[in-house]
Amino acid sequence: MALLESITEPADLRRLAAAQLTELAGEIREFLIRAVCHTGGHLGPNLGVVELTIALHRVFGSPFDRLVFDTGHQSYVHKLLTGRRAGFAGLRQEGGLSGYPSRAESVHDLVENSHASTALSYADGLAKAYALDGSDRRVVAVIGDGALTGGLAWEALNNLGGCDRPVVVVLNDNGRSYEPTVGGLAGQLAASRRRSGYADVLALLEGPPGHVAERSAAPTLSELFGGLGLGYLGPVDGHDIGALERAFATAREYGRPVVVHCLTRKGLGYGPAETDDADRLHSIGVADPATGTPVKSERTWTHAFSDELVALGSERPDVVAMSAAMVRPTGLHPFAVKFPDRAYDVGIAEQHAVTSAAGLAMGGKHPVVAIYATFLNRAFDQVLMDVGLHRLPVTFVLDRAGVTGPDGPSHHGMWDMAALGVVPGLRLAAPRDAGTLREELREAVEVTDGPTVLRFPKASLGDDIPALHRIGGVDLLRRPERPDILLVSVGVLAGAALAAADELAALGHRVTVVDPRWVRPAPPVLAELAAEHRLVVTVEDGVREGGAGAAVAALLADTGVEVPVTVLGLPREFLPHAGRGSLLGRYGLDATGIAAATLDSLGRIPTATTA
Ligand SMILES: Cc1ncc(C[n+]2csc(CCOP(=O)(O)OP(=O)(O)O)c2C)c(N)n1
Ligand SMILES: CC(=O)[C@@H](O)[C@H](O)COP(=O)(O)O
Ligand SMILES: [Mg+2]
């Protein structure tokens, strides 16, 4: 690692000879494999951009010139070249290096939002600002072929091409998002690779044999981007540092917006990634570096959803599934294998996914849109207007809801219950275990007059938590004689709520614990239950303001039930990266935190009413 250790800033790179750069690339790959297998993180994407990132830092002068990484999951090499090698021991760990660019870490980092397809818009704005200042700073946006399937990227291209600001768009084309990138654009890129005769990369192309041949009649990328008003350079071998540097140097002096099309191989240099057909080890947990296999394998909420959706698909031919470039991570793969004609992957295009699902519902189907909670934020208007206003039966299944952990602020799926709760006619369920997930999914697809939502976390599944009985759709999990406290627990927090009830019982309190199951709108029976208690405490792993607990408080106010309500949830802040359990504890959403907050609230009730 002698060369890598000698690099503390981009200027150090410019002192190296060509042969040393190749050696450095090898050291970086070796380092990444070891470091990322140790902590978990994005391995395949970073192994693919080693040469590309070296070349960028040799040609452009960051931080004067600005490098914007789309999504940012491929920024590890950039971090290594900008003085953060030592931080990799704590990559994505609490207090450690972020898995994405981070302005707190480095002046070389700019955009921390790891939602895809934004880089070209940021670049457009930066270039406008620098033009106003009369500055000749260059703006470079690195965007993957997957991220380029997002509509926002095309809105930006449309703007970039319509003016002469010198933005350099580096298209990192590895032919894949997680799986091979889908759609007409992917076909265009594939055809371009074919024409380039870049055999190694061609070997990665997948799809039916006719696919590439048919696409080869398509316009060239130069025509495509040229038609929008951008220059086009390429395709360039994305693993040839010399070729990349020549292309970037030309782009730097181009004087107009230009796309540099780089062909790369996701996972290059690590056998287990190169041969991984699922996703080239896109994002891994802690793994054995010798084999790339995860150290821990567990049954998750995603598995439970996945199995039940396949069962539903067999029973209900109208049930169709929709994904925005995340077929496997959201558990849709088994459904797509069994019902290939009823599964749609639209690319990184959440807004389109939602409105396309609306169309499917208008056409008599019941779409299940499986999506990470955080990515549905982007399609709020489509949920509200295109689905909600038309009262269409679309079911949204939000994986990674609540605290996700090491992916940090842009990935915590904590806004859903507050944001979606305002959609008229939308019903939202938060299953507490695998059993209720199955049950609530089935209830959701039975709904015919509006959108339904299921949300669950990125976590391993515990045992099912049985209900004593159900009233008004609400599950009673604990019901002592003469209860004084009502704990309303949302979804996965049922276990913590029950444990808190135990702690409180040990102190002499009598705690009822309920799981509302369908949390938005709040079930009316909660008002009746609340009236039998002296204090209501709601517990959710979503933003506290405007969430499920706030809906319970509003229900009580609307129905004249004058029992104090304490709403426990996440603060209205961007939460950092850290382990999920640790963050839940930090924000008082573990048993001890819930019990302590409850005692605190009890202590604040005037004595006359606590007697
Ligand atoms: C809006 C949004 N949807 C989905 C994702 C999840 N996601 C992260 S990376 C990725 C694939 C990106 O493909 P590409 O841009 O080609 O980068 P590569 O990993 O191939 O380098 C997806 C779907 C995301 N980050 N943002
Ligand atoms: C960058 C991105 O959005 C995804 O790669 C995400 O990090 C994956 O998260 P999971 O590892 O939870 O699937
Ligand atoms: Mg890609």
Can you tell me which atom of ligand 2 is nearest the CA of 42? 5
Q: What is the pLDDT of residues 285-307, one digit of tens each?
A: 999 999 999 999 999 999 999 99
Q: Where are the alpha helices (DSSP H) in 414-518?
A: 416-420, 434-446, 494-506
- What CATH class is the domain 469-610? alpha beta
> Which of 411, 412, 460 for mutating ligand 2's site (highest number of atoms within 8 Å of CB)?
411
Q: Ligand 2: does its nearest atom lie under 6 Å from the Cβ of 374?
A: no
Q: How far is the CA of 473 from the centre of ligand 1 (A)?
A: 38
Which amino acid appears at position 505 of this protein? A
Dist. CA 349 → ligand 2 center (Å) = 16
Q: How far apart are CA 150 and CA 451, in angstroms?
A: 24
- Asked if residues 356 and 346 have their Cβ atoms less than 8 Å apart, the reply is yes
What are the residue ranges spanned by the domains of the chain? Answer: 2-274, 301-455, 469-610
Ligand nearest to the CA of 115: 1
* 350 annotated as ligand-binding: yes
Instruction: Tell me which residue has its CA closest to atom 10 in ligand 1.
Output: 177
Q: In angstroms, what is the span from residue 148 Cα to ligand 2's centroid?
A: 17
Pocket test for ligand 1, best of 51, 78, 177 (most atoms within 8 A of CB): 177
Interacting residues of 508 by C-beta distance below 8 A, sequence separation 6+? none
pLDDT at 610: 47
Which ligand sits closest to the CA of 146? 1
State which ligand 1 atom lies nearest to the alpha carbon of 348. 3
CB proximity list for 570: less than 8 A, separation 6 or greater? 402, 403, 412, 414, 540, 541, 542, 543, 544, 587, 589
Ligand 2 pocket residue status of 71, Cβ below 6 Å: yes
Residues with CB under 6 A from ligand 1: 45, 48, 71, 73-74, 114-116, 144-147, 172, 174, 176-178, 266, 282, 324-326, 348, 350, 375, 378
Query: What does the pLDDT read at residue 220?
Result: 85
Among the listed ranges 179-193, 307-321, 365-379, 440-454, which one has the minimum average pLDDT value? 179-193
As for the ipTM of the complex, it is: 0.99
Check pocket membership of 283 for ligand 2, CB cut-off 6 A: yes
Ligand 3 (ion): which residues have CB within 5 A? 144-146, 174, 176
Q: Other CB atoms closer than 10 Å to residue 422's CB: what's the count?
A: 12
Query: Is residue 528 packed enough to be buried (19+ CB in 10 Å), middle (13-18) or exposed (0-12)?
Result: middle
3-class DSSP assignment, residue 271: helix
Ligand 2 pocket test, pick from 283, 284, 348 with the greatest ligand atom count within 8 Å of Cβ, gives 283
Check whether 61 is labelled as a binding-site residue.
no
What atom in ligand 1 is closest to the CA of residue 145?
A: 16
| Band (210; pLDDT cuts 50, 70, 90) | very low
Q: Which of the residue ranges 114-123, 205-214, 331-340, 403-412 would you say has the lowest mean pLDDT?
A: 205-214
Q: How far is the CA of 398 from the centre of ligand 3 (A)?
A: 24
Do domains 2-274 and 469-610 share one topology? The answer is yes
What is the overall mean pLDDT for the chain?
95
Check: CB of residue 273 under 8 Å from CB of residue 292: yes
Give the percent of the chain with pLDDT over 70: 95
Return the CATH architecture of domain 301-455: 3-Layer(aba) Sandwich (3.40)
510: CB partners within 8 A, 6+ apart: 480, 481, 482, 483, 484, 485
Mean pLDDT of 582-611: 90
Integer CA distances (angstroms), 194 to 147, 216, 266, 588, in order: 21, 8, 18, 56
Residue 173: nearest ligand to its CA?
3
pLDDT tens sequence across 515-569: 999 999 999 999 999 999 999 999 999 999 999 999 999 999 999 999 999 999 9
Specify the pLDDT at position 194. Answer: 77
**How would residue 396 be classed by pLDDT, with cut points 50, 70 and 90?**
very high
Ligand nearest to the CA of 148: 1
- Give the ligand with the smallest distance to the CA of 143: 1
Residue 608 has pLDDT above 70, yes or no: no
Q: Catalytic residue numbers?
A: 266, 350, 378
User: Does the annotation place 377 within a ligand binding site?
Assistant: no
Compute, in angstroms, the gap from residue 347 CA to the centroid of ligand 1: 9
pLDDT of 488 > 60? The answer is yes
329 CA from centroid of ligand 2 (Å): 8
| pLDDT score of 219 more than 80 | no
Residue 458 CB less than 6 A away from ligand 2:
yes
Segment 401-429, tens digit of pLDDT:
999 999 999 999 999 999 999 999 999 99
Superfamily, domain 2-274:
Thiamin diphosphate (ThDP)-binding fold, Pyr/PP domains (3.40.50.970)
- Average pLDDT of 588-596? 98
| Residue 191: pLDDT over 90 | no
Residue 477 three-state SS: strand
Which tens digits make up the pLDDT trace of 114-153?
999 999 999 999 999 999 999 999 999 999 999 999 999 9
Cα 80 to chain center, whole Å?
24
Question: Is 114 marked within a binding site?
Answer: yes
Closest ligand 1 atom, CA of 147? 15
Q: Which amino acid residue places its CA nearest to atom 10 of ligand 2?
A: 283
At 248, the pLDDT band (50, 70, 90 cuts) reads very high
Q: Is 27 annotated as a binding residue?
A: no
Structure tokens that stand for 34 in this block:
């070891």
Q: Which atom of ligand 2 is nearest to the CA of 282?
A: 5
The model carries a pTM of 0.95
The pLDDT of residue 199 = 46
Mean pLDDT to the nearest integer, 89-116: 98
Residue 283 Cα to ligand 2 middle (Å): 6
Position 190 scores a pLDDT of 87
**pLDDT reported for residue 202:** 42
- Does residue 65 carry a pLDDT above 80? yes
pLDDT band at 432 (very low <50, low <70, confident <90, very high): very high
Confidence of residue 198 (pLDDT cuts 50, 70, 90): low
The answer to the question of whether 603 is labelled as a binding residue is: no
- Helix 151-161, helix 119-133: angle, nearest 10: 30
Is residue 363's pLDDT more than 50?
yes
**pLDDT tier at 168, thresholds 50, 70, 90:** very high
Q: How far is the CA of 307 from the centre of ligand 3 (A)?
A: 28
| Residue closest to 108 by CA, chosen among 77, 154, 71, 86 | 77
Q: Is 238 annotated as a binding residue?
A: no
Position 157 scores a pLDDT of 98
Q: Is the pLDDT of residue 314 over 60?
A: yes
